[in-house]
A and B are shown apart, each in its own frame.
Chain A
Amino acid sequence: MRHLPRIARRLSLSLAICATLLTADALANQPAPDVPLAMADGQHQLADYRGQVVYLDFWASWCKPCQRSFPWMNAMQNKYADRGFTVIAINVDTERELADAFLAAMPAEFPVAFDPQGNAPALYRVPGMPTSYLIDHTGQLRLAHQGFHVQKQAQYEQEIVALIEEMESSK
C-alpha cells in the first residue's frame, strides 16, 4: 500500500480512536487475548500462565495511581502466589529508563513485562492508566478495573480470592 498522506493518516487515527470510544468498555467474559511478554529474563507469552489466576495490570511510570497500586500488588503476590495466583504487570513506557527508575524506587515482587510499542494495551483496548484484568485459570477474562482506588482494595482482593477458590474447587 502506498503511503497515505499524513492528514489522511491522522484522520484515520482519529476515527480509530472514535471507534474505540464507541466500545469503550474494557474487554470481559471472553478469552484473554494472548500477548507476548518481554521480561527482564527473556520472552514469555501470557498463554504460558494458563492454569493460574492472573491479575494483568497495565501501568506506566508517569501514572500517579500506578504508584499506589504497586504496594498492594506486592502484597497480593506474596499472599496468594502459593495458591496459583500471579500478578503480571505490563509497562507501557516508551522510555525504558523511566520504567526502570520507577521500579528502582518502587520495587515489584511480581513479573514485569515491557511493551514500549503499546501493542498489548491496544489489543486489550485499555481505557485508561492503570487498567487491570482478572483472568481465571482457564484463560477467560473475568473482570476489568480502570484506575486503582485504595478504598476498593478489599473488593479487588475478594475478586481474586473468588477466582482462586473457583480454581481450587474445580480440581
Chain B
Amino acid sequence: MQLSHKGSIAAALAGATCALLGQSQAHAETDSSVLKDWKFDTAILYYGETDRVSLAEGVVSATKTNSDDSIFNVKLVLDTLTGASANGAVAQPTVQTFSRPSGKDSYQVAAGDTPLDDTFHDTRVQVAASWMQPFADTWRGTAGFNVSREYDYMSLGVNGLLEKDLFQRNTTLSAGLSYQFDSIDPVGGKPTPLSSMMVPADDDYDDEFEGEDDDHGAKNGSDDKTTLDMLFGVTQVINRRMLMQFNYGLSIVDGYTTDPYKVLSVINTNGVTQDIVYENRPDSRTKHSFFWQTKYALDNGVVDVSYRYATDDWEIDSHTIDSRLRFNLSGNSYIQPHIRYYQQSAADFYQPYLNQSADLPMYASADYRVGEMTAYTVGLKYGRTLENGHEWAVRAEYYQQDPKNAGFEQPGVLADLDLYPSVKAVILQFNYHF
C-alpha cells in the first residue's frame, strides 16, 4: 500500500484505490493498445464494369500519432486496370475497324456496338505522405507530397494546409494549397489534335503502315499539365451531435487536358462514318467547387450527408449528393447503406460526332465523361470490431452511369443506334484496420 492518507477519507480512498488496482492486474495486457501509436488501414477493392474496364486496387495507409499530437501518415496505393473503354466513336450499322494506340495493330467493333478499345492494361503505383503539426494550441499545419507512376503517366504533387481553431474549437478555419505536375507519355505518341486515325489494313499492315509518313494521324512525344488547387473551409460544431463543414475550392489546370486515346467519328448527312479523328480539349480549365457536409450523431449511428456543386469554364456544372447512414447493430458491429447521386452538364466542346459538312471546330471531344450524364451509386457496408481491437469491413456497391443526349441530332443510320449506352459497375471492397 503506497498511499498514506489521514482519517476516514484516507481509508475510503485506500479502499477505492485497491479496487482500481485490482482491476489493473486483470487488464494489464490491454494497456498497450490504448497508447498504440502506429495504426494501419488496409483495403482491397475490385471495380468491374459489365463488358468494360475492371480495376483491382490495394491500399496500405500507416498513421503514427506522436506524443505532441503531431501525425505522420504514409500511404501506398497499387492498382491494375484491364479491359475495354469507349473510344468516343459512334456505333454504326456495319463493322468498324480502329487502330490500337500503338498504331501497329487494329481491332474491330461489331455492327450496332459502341466502339470500345480493349487495349487498356495499366498498373499504377502511388505513394503519398503527410505530416500534421499542431502549434500554438489552436493551430495545425499539414504538409504533404505524392508521387504516382503508371505506364504512360507520371504525377508529382505537394500540398499544404493550415487550420485554426476558434471559439473553444467550435469553429475551425482552414486554407490549403496544392500543386500537381502531371506528365503523360501516350502509347504510340501524342496524336496531332483532330488528325485522322490511321487504320492499318487487315492484312500486311506492318509494311504499309511503317512506310507512312505524313500528318495523317501523326503522333509524337509527350506532354504535361499543372494543377493548382486552393481550398478554403469552415468547420462548425452545431451542437453535441452535429457538425458541419463548408469548403470553397478553386482549381486551375494548365496544359495538356486531352485524352490521347479518345477519338470522334466524322459522319456524313446519312450518319455514316467517313473518318475518325483524335479529340482535342482546351489547354486550360478553371473550376470552382462548393462543398457542404454535415454529420449527425444518432444514439446508435451516424448520419453523413454531403452536397457538392461544381462549375467550370468548360461549362460543366455538376451536382453531387452523397449520403452514408451508419447503424450500430451492437457495440462492435454496424451496417452502413450508401447512396450517391451525380449529375453533370456537357462541356461546351462535347459533341457525339463531327459533321463532315461543317468546319472542324477548334476543340472537340466525344468522350461521354465530358458529356451530359447522371450517375448513381447504391451500396452497403458491414463492419465489425474484433476482440483485439482490430476492425474489418466489407462493402458492396452498384454504380450506374446514364449518359444523356444533350440535344444532338441522330441523322440517318444513327437514328436507330444507342449512342448513349449506360455503364454499369460493381464495387467490392474489404477493409482491415489494426
Where the two chains meet, the residues of A that have a C-beta atom closer than 8 Å to any C-beta of B are 17, 20-21, 24, 39-42, 44, 48-49, 51, 64-65, 67-68, 77-78, 81-82, 86, 102-112, 127-128, 146-147, 149-151
Contacts and interface: CB of A to CB of B under 8 A. Distances in A.
Given A82-B4, A151-B68, A41 B16 contact: yes
Given A17-B168, A41-B16, A111-B13, A147 B137 contact: yes
Given A41-B12, A111-B16, A104 B23 contact: yes
Contact of B27 (A86, A105, A111): A105
Nearest to B26: A104
A138 B28 CA distance: 37
A105 B13 contact: no
A9 B109 CA distance: 69
Interface of B: 2-6, 9, 12-13, 15-17, 19-21, 23-24, 26-28, 30-31, 33-35, 65, 67-69, 137, 167-170
A106 B20 contact: no
Contact of B17 (A20, A103, A106, A111): A111
Contact of A105 (B4, B34, B65): B34
Given A48-B9, A68-B67, A41 B168 contact: no
A68 B34 CA distance: 9
A17 B167 contact: yes
Given A107-B23, A109-B21, A150 B168 contact: no
B82 to A, nearest CB: 43
29 contacts: A17-B170, A24-B168, A40-B20, A41-B13, A41-B15, A41-B19, A42-B12, A44-B9, A44-B12, A48-B9, A49-B9, A77-B2, A81-B2, A81-B4, A82-B3, A82-B4, A86-B3, A103-B20, A105-B33, A107-B27, A109-B24, A111-B13, A111-B17, A128-B168, A128-B169, A146-B137, A147-B137, A149-B68, A150-B67
Nearest to A81: B3
A67 B9 CA distance: 27
A111 B13 CA distance: 7
Given A81-B5, A111-B16, 9 more contacts: A20-B168, A40-B20, A41-B12, A42-B12, A44-B12, A105-B34, A107-B28, A112-B20, A150-B68
B373 to A, nearest CB: 42
B295 to A, nearest CB: 15
A44 B8 CA distance: 11
Contacts of A127: 168
A104 B65 CA distance: 22
B68 A110 contact: no
Contacts of B23: 103-104, 107
Nearest to B331: A97
A109 B31 CA distance: 14
A146 B165 CA distance: 15
A59 to B, nearest CB: 13
Report whether over half of chain B's contact residues are helix, strand or loop; otherwise say mixed.
Answer: helix
Given A41-B12, A48-B9, A109 B35 contact: no
Contacts of B13: 41, 86, 111
Contacts of A109: 2, 17, 20-21, 24
A134 to B, nearest CB: 19
Given A65-B69, A81-B4, A107 B167 contact: no
A149 B69 CA distance: 9
Contacts of B65: 64
A126 to B, nearest CB: 10
A105 B168 contact: no
A21 B3 contact: no
A107 B169 contact: no
A78 B9 CA distance: 18
A109 B69 CA distance: 25
B20, B28, B137 interface centre (most CB from chain A within 10 Å): B20
Nearest to A10: B239
B167 A21 contact: yes
B167 A78 contact: no
10 nearest A-B residue pairs (beta carbon): A107-B24, A150-B67, A41-B16, A104-B27, A81-B3, A105-B30, A105-B34, A82-B4, A41-B12, A40-B16
Contacts of B21: 107, 109
Contact of A107 (B4, B6, B12, B20): B20
Contacts of B19: 40-41
Contacts of A108: 20
A103 to B, nearest CB: 7
